[in-house]
Chain A
Protein backbone atom coordinates (compact mmCIF):
# COMPACT_ATOMS: atom_id res chain seq x y z
CA UNK A 1 0.00 0.00 0.00
CA UNK A 2 1.19 3.49 -0.76
CA UNK A 3 0.19 6.38 1.43
CA UNK A 4 -1.30 8.73 -1.11
CA UNK A 5 -2.16 12.34 -0.31
CA UNK A 6 -5.72 13.61 -0.73
CA UNK A 7 -6.79 16.39 -3.09
CA UNK A 8 -8.52 19.21 -1.31
CA UNK A 9 -10.44 21.93 -3.09
CA UNK A 10 -11.37 24.85 -0.87
CA UNK A 11 -13.79 27.59 -1.92
CA UNK A 12 -12.24 27.46 -5.38
CA UNK A 13 -13.43 30.15 -7.78
CA UNK A 14 -12.43 31.05 -11.33
CA UNK A 15 -13.84 33.94 -13.30
CA UNK A 16 -13.19 34.68 -16.95
CA UNK A 17 -14.35 38.26 -17.28
CA UNK A 18 -18.03 38.31 -16.40
CA UNK A 19 -18.35 34.52 -16.57
CA UNK A 20 -17.90 32.54 -13.37
CA UNK A 21 -16.65 29.15 -14.56
CA UNK A 22 -16.03 27.72 -11.09
CA UNK A 23 -17.98 29.12 -8.19
CA UNK A 24 -16.98 28.64 -4.55
CA UNK A 25 -16.30 24.94 -4.99
CA UNK A 26 -15.28 22.81 -2.01
CA UNK A 27 -14.69 19.06 -1.97
CA UNK A 28 -12.13 16.45 -0.98
CA UNK A 29 -10.82 13.50 -2.94
CA UNK A 30 -9.77 10.71 -0.58
CA UNK A 31 -6.95 8.23 -1.17
CA UNK A 32 -7.83 4.59 -1.70
CA UNK A 33 -11.00 5.45 -3.57
CA UNK A 34 -12.01 6.34 -7.09
CA UNK A 35 -13.83 9.65 -7.14
CA UNK A 36 -16.04 10.55 -10.09
CA UNK A 37 -16.08 14.26 -10.89
CA UNK A 38 -19.32 14.73 -12.73
CA UNK A 39 -21.13 17.51 -14.48
CA UNK A 40 -22.60 18.44 -17.85
CA UNK A 41 -20.37 19.90 -20.58
CA UNK A 42 -19.22 23.37 -19.68
CA UNK A 43 -19.95 22.95 -15.98
CA UNK A 44 -16.38 23.79 -14.97
CA UNK A 45 -14.85 20.32 -14.54
CA UNK A 46 -11.81 20.88 -16.72
CA UNK A 47 -11.25 24.39 -15.36
CA UNK A 48 -11.26 22.91 -11.85
CA UNK A 49 -8.77 20.19 -12.84
CA UNK A 50 -6.54 22.81 -14.47
CA UNK A 51 -6.48 24.76 -11.23
CA UNK A 52 -5.73 21.60 -9.23
CA UNK A 53 -2.71 20.96 -11.48
CA UNK A 54 -1.44 24.53 -11.53
CA UNK A 55 -2.21 25.24 -15.18
CA UNK A 56 -4.70 27.95 -14.26
CA UNK A 57 -4.63 30.29 -11.32
CA UNK A 58 -7.73 30.48 -9.12
CA UNK A 59 -9.49 33.82 -8.84
CA UNK A 60 -10.18 32.89 -5.22
CA UNK A 61 -9.82 29.86 -2.99
CA UNK A 62 -7.26 27.14 -3.46
CA UNK A 63 -6.69 23.61 -4.64
CA UNK A 64 -4.13 21.47 -2.84
CA UNK A 65 -2.56 18.08 -3.34
CA UNK A 66 -1.27 16.68 -0.07
CA UNK A 67 -1.68 20.08 1.57
CA UNK A 68 0.28 22.12 -0.98
CA UNK A 69 -0.42 23.66 -4.36
CA UNK A 70 0.62 21.38 -7.24
CA UNK A 71 3.44 23.62 -8.45
CA UNK A 72 4.99 23.80 -4.97
CA UNK A 73 5.88 20.12 -5.04
CA UNK A 74 9.51 19.61 -6.06
CA UNK A 75 8.63 17.03 -8.75
CA UNK A 76 4.87 17.32 -9.17
CA UNK A 77 4.61 14.93 -12.12
CA UNK A 78 6.12 12.13 -9.99
CA UNK A 79 3.43 12.58 -7.36
CA UNK A 80 0.47 13.44 -9.57
CA UNK A 81 -0.20 11.80 -12.93
CA UNK A 82 -2.46 13.96 -15.02
CA UNK A 83 -4.14 13.44 -18.37
CA UNK A 84 -6.29 16.35 -19.48
CA UNK A 85 -7.01 16.94 -23.13
CA UNK A 86 -4.84 14.42 -24.97
CA UNK A 87 -2.46 16.68 -26.93
CA UNK A 88 0.56 15.56 -28.92
CA UNK A 89 2.97 16.82 -31.55
CA UNK A 90 1.73 14.87 -34.58
CA UNK A 91 5.25 14.45 -35.94
CA UNK A 92 6.63 12.80 -32.82
CA UNK A 93 6.50 9.05 -32.25
CA UNK A 94 4.63 7.57 -29.30
CA UNK A 95 7.88 6.48 -27.66
CA UNK A 96 9.52 9.86 -28.18
CA UNK A 97 6.45 11.57 -26.78
CA UNK A 98 7.03 9.72 -23.51
CA UNK A 99 10.81 10.22 -23.69
CA UNK A 100 10.31 13.98 -23.97
CA UNK A 101 8.62 14.11 -20.55
CA UNK A 102 10.63 11.31 -18.93
CA UNK A 103 13.60 13.42 -17.69
CA UNK A 104 11.50 15.64 -15.43
CA UNK A 105 9.43 12.74 -14.19
CA UNK A 106 12.72 11.05 -13.44
CA UNK A 107 12.30 7.83 -15.41
CA UNK A 108 14.36 6.13 -18.12
CA UNK A 109 13.59 4.73 -21.56
CA UNK A 110 12.83 1.31 -20.09
CA UNK A 111 9.91 2.77 -18.15
CA UNK A 112 8.62 4.43 -21.35
CA UNK A 113 8.58 1.05 -23.06
CA UNK A 114 6.85 -0.48 -20.03
CA UNK A 115 4.09 2.12 -20.21
CA UNK A 116 3.52 1.57 -23.93
CA UNK A 117 3.24 -2.12 -23.12
CA UNK A 118 0.73 -1.41 -20.32
CA UNK A 119 -1.58 0.68 -22.51
CA UNK A 120 -1.27 -1.67 -25.45
CA UNK A 121 0.66 0.66 -27.74
CA UNK A 122 3.96 -1.25 -27.80
CA UNK A 123 3.53 -2.26 -31.47
CA UNK A 124 3.13 1.42 -32.40
CA UNK A 125 6.05 2.79 -30.36
CA UNK A 126 7.91 4.14 -33.39
CA UNK A 127 4.83 5.43 -35.22
CA UNK A 128 4.13 9.13 -35.37
CA UNK A 129 1.17 10.14 -33.24
CA UNK A 130 -0.39 12.09 -36.14
CA UNK A 131 -1.77 8.81 -37.47
CA UNK A 132 -3.26 7.63 -34.17
CA UNK A 133 -6.97 7.13 -33.56
CA UNK A 134 -8.75 8.92 -30.74
CA UNK A 135 -8.62 5.76 -28.62
CA UNK A 136 -4.86 5.37 -29.19
CA UNK A 137 -4.29 8.99 -28.24
CA UNK A 138 -6.35 8.50 -25.11
CA UNK A 139 -4.15 5.51 -24.20
CA UNK A 140 -0.96 7.45 -24.88
CA UNK A 141 -2.28 10.29 -22.71
CA UNK A 142 -2.83 7.78 -19.92
CA UNK A 143 0.67 6.37 -20.41
CA UNK A 144 2.07 9.90 -20.07
CA UNK A 145 0.15 10.42 -16.84
CA UNK A 146 1.39 7.14 -15.38
CA UNK A 147 5.09 7.59 -16.31
CA UNK A 148 6.14 8.32 -12.74
CA UNK A 149 3.97 5.64 -11.11
CA UNK A 150 2.10 8.49 -9.39
CA UNK A 151 0.24 8.22 -6.08
CA UNK A 152 -2.40 10.62 -7.32
CA UNK A 153 -4.08 10.10 -10.68
CA UNK A 154 -6.20 12.79 -12.33
CA UNK A 155 -7.92 11.93 -15.60
CA UNK A 156 -10.22 14.20 -17.60
CA UNK A 157 -12.88 12.22 -19.50
CA UNK A 158 -10.64 9.13 -19.81
CA UNK A 159 -13.32 7.01 -21.44
CA UNK A 160 -13.66 9.32 -24.46
CA UNK A 161 -12.84 7.48 -27.64
CA UNK A 162 -12.23 4.12 -25.96
CA UNK A 163 -13.97 1.03 -27.32
CA UNK A 164 -15.99 -1.15 -24.89
CA UNK A 165 -12.98 -3.38 -24.18
CA UNK A 166 -10.93 -0.28 -23.53
CA UNK A 167 -13.50 1.03 -21.08
CA UNK A 168 -13.54 -2.28 -19.18
CA UNK A 169 -9.74 -2.24 -19.10
CA UNK A 170 -9.66 1.35 -17.87
CA UNK A 171 -12.19 0.47 -15.17
CA UNK A 172 -10.11 -2.39 -13.81
CA UNK A 173 -6.96 -0.28 -13.94
CA UNK A 174 -8.59 2.50 -11.90
CA UNK A 175 -10.05 -0.02 -9.44
CA UNK A 176 -6.58 -1.51 -9.01
CA UNK A 177 -5.09 1.93 -8.34
CA UNK A 178 -7.67 2.60 -5.63
CA UNK A 179 -7.06 -0.83 -4.13
CA UNK A 180 -3.35 0.04 -3.92
CA UNK A 181 -4.30 3.09 -1.88
CA UNK A 182 -3.84 5.73 -4.56
CA UNK A 183 -5.97 8.81 -4.94
CA UNK A 184 -7.95 8.67 -8.17
CA UNK A 185 -10.03 11.51 -9.62
CA UNK A 186 -11.87 10.90 -12.87
CA UNK A 187 -14.10 13.39 -14.61
CA UNK A 188 -17.00 12.55 -16.87
CA UNK A 189 -20.12 14.17 -18.25
CA UNK A 190 -21.93 10.82 -18.33
CA UNK A 191 -22.60 9.18 -15.00
CA UNK A 192 -23.29 5.81 -16.61
CA UNK A 193 -19.73 5.77 -17.90
CA UNK A 194 -18.20 5.79 -14.42
CA UNK A 195 -21.08 4.36 -12.37
CA UNK A 196 -19.37 0.98 -12.12
CA UNK A 197 -15.95 2.43 -11.39
CA UNK A 198 -16.34 5.10 -8.75
CA UNK A 199 -16.70 4.94 -4.96
CA UNK A 200 -17.48 8.61 -4.48
CA UNK A 201 -19.16 11.21 -6.62
CA UNK A 202 -18.70 14.95 -6.77
CA UNK A 203 -21.38 16.50 -8.97
CA UNK A 204 -21.13 20.07 -10.20
CA UNK A 205 -23.32 22.21 -12.44
CA UNK A 206 -22.60 25.75 -13.60
CA UNK A 207 -19.40 25.72 -11.60
CA UNK A 208 -21.16 24.97 -8.33
CA UNK A 209 -21.17 21.90 -6.17
CA UNK A 210 -24.57 20.23 -6.25
CA UNK A 211 -23.76 16.91 -4.61
CA UNK A 212 -20.83 15.10 -3.01
CA UNK A 213 -21.18 11.71 -1.38
CA UNK A 214 -20.35 8.05 -1.70
CA UNK A 215 -22.01 6.59 -4.80
CA UNK A 216 -24.43 4.60 -2.60
CA UNK A 217 -25.94 7.78 -1.19
CA UNK A 218 -26.66 8.96 -4.68
CA UNK A 219 -28.59 5.74 -5.27
CA UNK A 220 -30.82 6.63 -2.34
CA UNK A 221 -31.76 9.88 -4.02
CA UNK A 222 -33.18 7.93 -6.90
CA UNK A 223 -36.91 7.43 -7.27
CA UNK A 224 -37.79 3.76 -6.80
CA UNK A 225 -39.69 1.97 -9.56
CA UNK A 226 -41.67 -1.23 -9.15
CA UNK A 227 -43.18 -3.40 -11.84
CA UNK A 228 -46.22 -5.34 -10.76
CA UNK A 229 -48.58 -7.82 -12.45
CA UNK A 230 -51.76 -9.07 -10.80
CA UNK A 231 -54.08 -12.04 -11.50
CA UNK A 232 -56.94 -9.57 -11.79
CA UNK A 233 -55.90 -6.34 -13.46
CA UNK A 234 -59.09 -4.55 -12.44
CA UNK A 235 -58.53 -5.14 -8.72
CA UNK A 236 -54.92 -3.93 -9.04
CA UNK A 237 -56.07 -0.73 -10.80
CA UNK A 238 -58.50 -0.14 -7.95
CA UNK A 239 -55.71 -0.56 -5.42
CA UNK A 240 -53.42 1.82 -7.35
CA UNK A 241 -56.21 4.40 -7.52
CA UNK A 242 -57.01 3.99 -3.82
CA UNK A 243 -53.36 4.49 -2.77
CA UNK A 244 -52.81 7.32 -5.23
CA UNK A 245 -49.78 5.64 -6.79
CA UNK A 246 -48.41 6.91 -10.08
CA UNK A 247 -48.87 4.09 -12.59
CA UNK A 248 -48.00 3.46 -16.21
CA UNK A 249 -49.25 0.54 -18.23
CA UNK A 250 -46.46 -1.77 -19.35
CA UNK A 251 -46.48 -5.17 -21.05
CA UNK A 252 -49.05 -7.17 -19.07
CA UNK A 253 -48.78 -5.15 -15.88
CA UNK A 254 -48.12 -1.68 -14.50
CA UNK A 255 -45.00 0.25 -13.63
CA UNK A 256 -45.31 2.18 -10.38
CA UNK A 257 -43.04 5.16 -9.79
CA UNK A 258 -42.05 6.44 -6.38
CA UNK A 259 -43.09 3.26 -4.60
CA UNK A 260 -40.84 0.43 -3.44
CA UNK A 261 -41.63 -3.23 -4.04
CA UNK A 262 -42.06 -3.64 -0.26
CA UNK A 263 -44.84 -1.06 -0.12
CA UNK A 264 -46.62 -2.47 -3.15
CA UNK A 265 -46.41 -6.02 -1.74
CA UNK A 266 -47.77 -4.95 1.63
CA UNK A 267 -50.57 -2.94 0.03
CA UNK A 268 -51.61 -5.82 -2.22
CA UNK A 269 -51.54 -8.27 0.67
CA UNK A 270 -53.75 -6.01 2.79
CA UNK A 271 -56.22 -5.54 -0.08
CA UNK A 272 -56.19 -9.26 -0.87
CA UNK A 273 -54.95 -8.72 -4.44
CA UNK A 274 -53.24 -11.78 -5.87
CA UNK A 275 -49.90 -10.79 -7.42
CA UNK A 276 -48.20 -12.74 -10.19
CA UNK A 277 -45.07 -10.59 -10.39
CA UNK A 278 -43.45 -7.97 -8.18
CA UNK A 279 -40.12 -6.59 -9.41
CA UNK A 280 -37.75 -3.88 -8.18
CA UNK A 281 -36.48 -1.93 -11.18
CA UNK A 282 -32.76 -1.15 -11.27
CA UNK A 283 -32.37 2.41 -10.14
CA UNK A 284 -31.53 4.72 -12.99
CA UNK A 285 -28.74 6.93 -11.62
CA UNK A 286 -28.60 8.87 -14.85
CA UNK A 287 -31.99 10.35 -13.99
CA UNK A 288 -30.74 11.35 -10.57
CA UNK A 289 -27.75 12.96 -12.20
CA UNK A 290 -29.90 14.83 -14.70
CA UNK A 291 -32.22 16.01 -11.96
CA UNK A 292 -29.32 17.21 -9.79
CA UNK A 293 -27.65 19.12 -12.56
CA UNK A 294 -30.86 20.49 -14.07
CA UNK A 295 -31.86 22.03 -10.74
CA UNK A 296 -29.10 24.52 -11.31
CA UNK A 297 -30.55 25.76 -14.58
CA UNK A 298 -32.66 28.35 -12.75
CA UNK A 299 -30.91 31.72 -12.81
CA UNK A 300 -29.42 32.66 -9.48
Chain B
Protein backbone atom coordinates (compact mmCIF):
# COMPACT_ATOMS: atom_id res chain seq x y z
CA UNK B 1 0.00 0.00 0.00
CA UNK B 2 2.87 2.39 0.77
CA UNK B 3 4.40 1.68 -2.63
CA UNK B 4 1.04 2.12 -4.34
CA UNK B 5 0.48 5.42 -2.53
CA UNK B 6 3.91 6.64 -3.56
CA UNK B 7 3.17 5.67 -7.14
CA UNK B 8 -0.15 7.52 -7.11
CA UNK B 9 1.40 10.65 -5.58
CA UNK B 10 4.06 10.62 -8.29
CA UNK B 11 1.34 10.33 -10.93
CA UNK B 12 -0.47 13.36 -9.53
CA UNK B 13 2.63 15.51 -9.20
CA UNK B 14 4.44 14.58 -12.43
CA UNK B 15 2.07 16.29 -14.84
CA UNK B 16 1.18 19.95 -15.06
CA UNK B 17 -2.50 19.51 -14.24
CA UNK B 18 -2.30 19.98 -10.46
CA UNK B 19 -0.48 23.28 -10.47
CA UNK B 20 -2.52 24.68 -13.34
CA UNK B 21 -5.71 23.89 -11.39
CA UNK B 22 -4.12 25.24 -8.22
CA UNK B 23 -3.00 28.42 -9.96
CA UNK B 24 -6.38 29.14 -11.51
CA UNK B 25 -8.03 28.42 -8.17
CA UNK B 26 -5.80 30.93 -6.35
CA UNK B 27 -6.52 33.69 -8.83
CA UNK B 28 -10.23 32.93 -8.81
CA UNK B 29 -10.58 32.74 -5.03
CA UNK B 30 -8.59 35.89 -4.34
CA UNK B 31 -10.91 37.64 -6.78
CA UNK B 32 -14.00 36.13 -5.14
CA UNK B 33 -12.68 37.15 -1.71
CA UNK B 34 -12.40 40.76 -2.85
CA UNK B 35 -15.82 40.76 -4.53
CA UNK B 36 -17.60 39.13 -1.60
CA UNK B 37 -15.98 41.35 0.98
CA UNK B 38 -16.73 44.42 -1.10
CA UNK B 39 -20.38 43.57 -1.71
CA UNK B 40 -21.04 42.72 1.91
CA UNK B 41 -19.32 45.69 3.49
CA UNK B 42 -20.18 48.52 1.11
CA UNK B 43 -22.73 50.97 2.45
CA UNK B 44 -25.97 51.35 0.57
CA UNK B 45 -27.29 54.93 0.02
CA UNK B 46 -29.48 54.68 3.14
CA UNK B 47 -26.40 54.07 5.23
CA UNK B 48 -26.82 50.39 6.00
CA UNK B 49 -24.69 47.40 5.10
CA UNK B 50 -25.77 43.93 4.07
CA UNK B 51 -23.82 42.33 6.85
CA UNK B 52 -21.41 43.28 9.54
CA UNK B 53 -19.20 41.86 12.22
CA UNK B 54 -18.31 38.23 12.33
CA UNK B 55 -21.25 37.31 10.05
CA UNK B 56 -19.64 39.17 7.17
CA UNK B 57 -16.31 37.46 7.81
CA UNK B 58 -17.90 34.01 7.90
CA UNK B 59 -19.87 34.69 4.71
CA UNK B 60 -16.75 35.80 2.85
CA UNK B 61 -14.46 33.00 4.02
CA UNK B 62 -16.99 30.25 3.45
CA UNK B 63 -17.19 31.03 -0.26
CA UNK B 64 -14.05 28.86 -0.61
CA UNK B 65 -16.32 25.89 -0.43
CA UNK B 66 -19.26 27.33 -2.32
CA UNK B 67 -17.16 28.48 -5.24
CA UNK B 68 -13.73 26.81 -5.10
CA UNK B 69 -14.83 23.21 -4.77
CA UNK B 70 -14.89 22.57 -8.48
CA UNK B 71 -11.05 22.62 -8.52
CA UNK B 72 -10.37 19.70 -6.16
CA UNK B 73 -13.36 17.91 -7.66
CA UNK B 74 -11.81 18.18 -11.13
CA UNK B 75 -8.39 17.21 -9.77
CA UNK B 76 -9.83 13.97 -8.41
CA UNK B 77 -11.95 13.21 -11.46
CA UNK B 78 -9.05 13.73 -13.84
CA UNK B 79 -6.72 11.67 -11.64
CA UNK B 80 -8.73 8.58 -12.46
CA UNK B 81 -10.10 9.28 -15.92
CA UNK B 82 -6.62 10.18 -17.24
CA UNK B 83 -5.64 6.54 -16.71
CA UNK B 84 -8.33 5.48 -19.14
CA UNK B 85 -7.94 8.42 -21.49
CA UNK B 86 -4.24 7.66 -21.99
CA UNK B 87 -4.66 3.93 -21.44
CA UNK B 88 -2.06 3.90 -18.67
CA UNK B 89 -4.56 1.92 -16.58
CA UNK B 90 -3.04 -1.21 -18.15
CA UNK B 91 0.45 -0.52 -16.85
CA UNK B 92 -1.03 0.56 -13.52
CA UNK B 93 -2.81 -2.78 -13.14
CA UNK B 94 0.27 -4.68 -14.28
CA UNK B 95 2.25 -3.31 -11.33
CA UNK B 96 -0.78 -3.35 -9.00
CA UNK B 97 -3.28 -6.07 -9.94
CA UNK B 98 -5.18 -5.63 -6.67
CA UNK B 99 -7.95 -3.22 -7.57
CA UNK B 100 -8.87 -2.52 -3.95
CA UNK B 101 -5.34 -1.31 -3.34
CA UNK B 102 -5.50 0.74 -6.53
CA UNK B 103 -8.70 2.52 -5.50
CA UNK B 104 -7.51 3.02 -1.92
CA UNK B 105 -4.13 4.42 -2.93
CA UNK B 106 -5.56 6.75 -5.55
CA UNK B 107 -8.13 8.01 -3.08
CA UNK B 108 -5.54 8.56 -0.36
CA UNK B 109 -3.08 10.31 -2.66
CA UNK B 110 -5.78 12.63 -3.94
CA UNK B 111 -6.99 13.28 -0.39
CA UNK B 112 -3.50 14.48 0.54
CA UNK B 113 -3.26 16.76 -2.47
CA UNK B 114 -6.84 17.85 -1.80
CA UNK B 115 -5.76 19.02 1.67
CA UNK B 116 -3.06 21.11 0.03
CA UNK B 117 -5.70 22.57 -2.28
CA UNK B 118 -7.86 23.28 0.78
CA UNK B 119 -5.09 25.11 2.63
CA UNK B 120 -4.19 27.15 -0.43
CA UNK B 121 -7.86 27.93 -1.12
CA UNK B 122 -8.40 29.20 2.41
CA UNK B 123 -5.27 31.33 2.25
CA UNK B 124 -6.45 32.74 -1.08
CA UNK B 125 -9.91 33.72 0.10
CA UNK B 126 -8.45 35.29 3.25
CA UNK B 127 -5.86 37.15 1.19
CA UNK B 128 -8.63 38.52 -1.03
CA UNK B 129 -11.28 39.19 1.59
CA UNK B 130 -9.54 40.08 4.86
CA UNK B 131 -8.02 43.43 3.84
CA UNK B 132 -11.40 44.79 2.72
CA UNK B 133 -13.11 43.45 5.81
CA UNK B 134 -10.61 45.33 7.94
CA UNK B 135 -10.77 48.48 5.88
CA UNK B 136 -14.52 48.79 5.15
CA UNK B 137 -16.05 46.37 7.63
CA UNK B 138 -15.68 45.57 11.29
CA UNK B 139 -12.49 43.54 11.03
CA UNK B 140 -11.07 40.29 9.67
CA UNK B 141 -12.04 38.18 12.72
CA UNK B 142 -9.32 35.66 11.91
CA UNK B 143 -9.05 34.48 15.52
CA UNK B 144 -12.78 34.28 16.17
CA UNK B 145 -13.69 30.63 16.97
CA UNK B 146 -16.54 30.64 14.41
CA UNK B 147 -14.22 31.89 11.70
CA UNK B 148 -11.46 29.44 12.62
CA UNK B 149 -14.00 26.62 12.41
CA UNK B 150 -15.11 27.77 8.95
CA UNK B 151 -11.51 27.97 7.74
CA UNK B 152 -10.47 24.56 9.08
CA UNK B 153 -13.63 22.83 7.91
CA UNK B 154 -13.24 24.43 4.49
CA UNK B 155 -9.85 22.74 4.19
CA UNK B 156 -11.35 19.38 5.09
CA UNK B 157 -14.33 19.80 2.77
CA UNK B 158 -12.07 20.69 -0.16
CA UNK B 159 -10.15 17.45 0.43
CA UNK B 160 -13.40 15.47 0.51
CA UNK B 161 -14.40 17.04 -2.81
CA UNK B 162 -11.12 15.77 -4.29
CA UNK B 163 -11.91 12.26 -3.05
CA UNK B 164 -15.44 12.50 -4.42
CA UNK B 165 -13.82 13.33 -7.77
CA UNK B 166 -11.69 10.17 -7.63
CA UNK B 167 -14.60 7.83 -7.00
CA UNK B 168 -16.63 9.60 -9.68
CA UNK B 169 -13.73 9.17 -12.11
CA UNK B 170 -13.43 5.52 -11.10
CA UNK B 171 -17.07 5.04 -12.05
CA UNK B 172 -17.29 7.20 -15.17
CA UNK B 173 -14.15 6.23 -17.03
CA UNK B 174 -14.76 8.46 -20.05
CA UNK B 175 -12.88 11.66 -19.30
CA UNK B 176 -14.99 13.95 -21.45
CA UNK B 177 -18.23 12.61 -20.03
CA UNK B 178 -16.86 12.93 -16.49
CA UNK B 179 -15.72 16.55 -16.94
CA UNK B 180 -18.99 17.55 -18.58
CA UNK B 181 -20.91 15.85 -15.79
CA UNK B 182 -18.89 17.61 -13.09
CA UNK B 183 -19.19 21.04 -14.68
CA UNK B 184 -22.85 20.70 -15.60
CA UNK B 185 -23.79 19.40 -12.19
CA UNK B 186 -21.81 21.84 -10.08
CA UNK B 187 -22.34 24.97 -12.16
CA UNK B 188 -25.85 24.45 -13.40
CA UNK B 189 -27.90 21.50 -12.16
CA UNK B 190 -27.21 21.74 -8.46
CA UNK B 191 -27.57 25.53 -8.02
CA UNK B 192 -30.90 25.47 -9.85
CA UNK B 193 -32.05 22.35 -8.04
CA UNK B 194 -31.19 23.91 -4.68
CA UNK B 195 -33.18 27.01 -5.43
CA UNK B 196 -36.12 25.15 -6.93
CA UNK B 197 -36.29 22.38 -4.35
CA UNK B 198 -35.66 24.80 -1.50
CA UNK B 199 -38.63 26.88 -2.59
CA UNK B 200 -41.02 23.97 -2.14
CA UNK B 201 -41.41 23.02 1.50
CA UNK B 202 -42.03 19.34 0.84
CA UNK B 203 -38.86 19.07 -1.24
CA UNK B 204 -36.45 21.17 0.80
CA UNK B 205 -35.27 17.97 2.50
CA UNK B 206 -34.04 16.74 -0.89
CA UNK B 207 -32.21 20.01 -1.50
CA UNK B 208 -30.36 19.56 1.79
CA UNK B 209 -28.75 16.32 0.74
CA UNK B 210 -27.40 17.55 -2.58
CA UNK B 211 -23.61 17.36 -2.34
CA UNK B 212 -23.04 21.12 -2.46
CA UNK B 213 -25.67 21.74 0.20
CA UNK B 214 -24.15 19.05 2.39
CA UNK B 215 -20.72 20.66 2.02
CA UNK B 216 -22.21 24.03 2.97
CA UNK B 217 -23.74 22.42 6.02
CA UNK B 218 -20.33 21.13 7.08
CA UNK B 219 -18.73 24.54 6.72
CA UNK B 220 -21.75 26.10 8.37
CA UNK B 221 -22.45 28.87 5.90
CA UNK B 222 -22.86 29.32 2.20
CA UNK B 223 -22.87 31.85 -0.57
CA UNK B 224 -26.56 31.11 -0.87
CA UNK B 225 -27.04 31.99 2.78
CA UNK B 226 -25.13 35.21 2.39
CA UNK B 227 -27.78 36.44 0.02
CA UNK B 228 -30.58 35.27 2.22
CA UNK B 229 -32.36 32.77 0.00
CA UNK B 230 -31.06 29.58 1.48
CA UNK B 231 -33.36 26.80 2.63
CA UNK B 232 -32.79 25.02 5.90
CA UNK B 233 -29.40 23.40 6.20
CA UNK B 234 -28.46 20.07 7.72
CA UNK B 235 -26.58 20.16 11.00
CA UNK B 236 -22.81 20.05 10.65
CA UNK B 237 -22.52 16.33 11.45
CA UNK B 238 -25.36 15.61 9.03
CA UNK B 239 -23.48 17.36 6.25
CA UNK B 240 -20.37 15.30 7.01
CA UNK B 241 -22.36 12.07 6.89
CA UNK B 242 -24.04 12.99 3.61
CA UNK B 243 -20.71 13.87 1.95
CA UNK B 244 -19.11 10.65 3.14
CA UNK B 245 -22.16 8.72 1.97
CA UNK B 246 -21.61 10.09 -1.56
CA UNK B 247 -17.96 8.99 -1.44
CA UNK B 248 -18.77 5.52 -0.13
CA UNK B 249 -21.69 4.85 -2.46
CA UNK B 250 -19.86 6.05 -5.59
CA UNK B 251 -16.72 4.20 -4.50
CA UNK B 252 -18.50 0.92 -3.87
CA UNK B 253 -20.49 1.13 -7.10
CA UNK B 254 -17.30 1.91 -9.05
CA UNK B 255 -15.49 -1.00 -7.43
CA UNK B 256 -18.32 -3.40 -8.23
CA UNK B 257 -18.82 -2.26 -11.81
CA UNK B 258 -16.12 -0.38 -13.71
CA UNK B 259 -13.22 -1.60 -11.60
CA UNK B 260 -14.31 -5.22 -11.78
CA UNK B 261 -14.37 -5.40 -15.53
CA UNK B 262 -11.47 -6.24 -17.78
CA UNK B 263 -9.63 -3.15 -18.87
CA UNK B 264 -9.63 -2.67 -22.59
Q: Which residues of A are interface residues toward B (Cβ below 8 A)?
A: 50, 53-57, 70-71, 76-77, 82, 84-85, 87-93, 96, 99-106, 144
Contacts and interface: CB of A to CB of B under 8 A. Distances in A.
A59 B86 CA distance: 27
Contacts of A55: 90, 93-94, 262-263
Interface of B: 2-4, 6-7, 10-11, 14-17, 82, 86-88, 90-98, 262-264
A274 to B, nearest CB: 64
A104 B15 contact: no
B14 A93 contact: yes
Contact of B88 (A71, A77, A88, A93): A88
Contacts of B14: 92-93, 96, 99-100
A18 to B, nearest CB: 17
Instruction: Please classify the interface of chain B as helix (H, G, I), strand (E, B), loop, or mixed, using the class held by over half of its residues.
Output: helix
Contacts of A100: 7, 10-11, 14
Contact of B16 (A82, A91, A99): A91
A104 B4 contact: yes
Contact of B15 (A50, A82, A91): A91
29 contacts: A50-B262, A55-B93, A55-B94, A55-B263, A57-B262, A76-B95, A84-B90, A85-B87, A85-B90, A87-B86, A87-B87, A89-B15, A90-B86, A91-B15, A91-B16, A92-B15, A96-B14, A100-B7, A100-B14, A101-B7, A101-B92, A101-B95, A103-B4, A103-B6, A103-B7, A104-B7, A104-B96, A105-B95, A106-B3
B87 to A, nearest CB: 4
Contacts of A101: 7, 91-92, 95
Contacts of B2: 103
A199 to B, nearest CB: 25
A90 B94 CA distance: 19
A54 B7 CA distance: 20
A241 B95 CA distance: 64
Contacts of A99: 10, 14
Contacts of A102: 7
Contacts of A106: 3
Nearest to A96: B14
Given A88-B86, A90-B86, 5 more contacts: A55-B93, A77-B94, A99-B10, A103-B4, A105-B95
A85 B89 CA distance: 11
Question: Which 9 pairs, one residue from A and one from B, show the smallest C-beta to C-beta distance?
Answer: A71-B97, A87-B87, A96-B14, A103-B3, A56-B262, A104-B95, A103-B6, A91-B15, A77-B95
Given A55-B93, A55-B263, A82-B94, A104 B86 contact: no
A97 B245 CA distance: 34
Contacts of A85: 87, 90
Nearest to B96: A104
B72 to A, nearest CB: 19
Given A55-B90, A55-B94, A91 B262 contact: no
B39 to A, nearest CB: 39
B94 A53 contact: yes
B11 A87 contact: no
B118 to A, nearest CB: 24
A170 to B, nearest CB: 20
Contacts of A88: 86, 88
B86 A89 contact: yes
B91 A87 contact: yes
Given A77-B95, A90-B86, A104-B95, A96 B262 contact: no
A102 B4 CA distance: 10
A127 B14 CA distance: 12
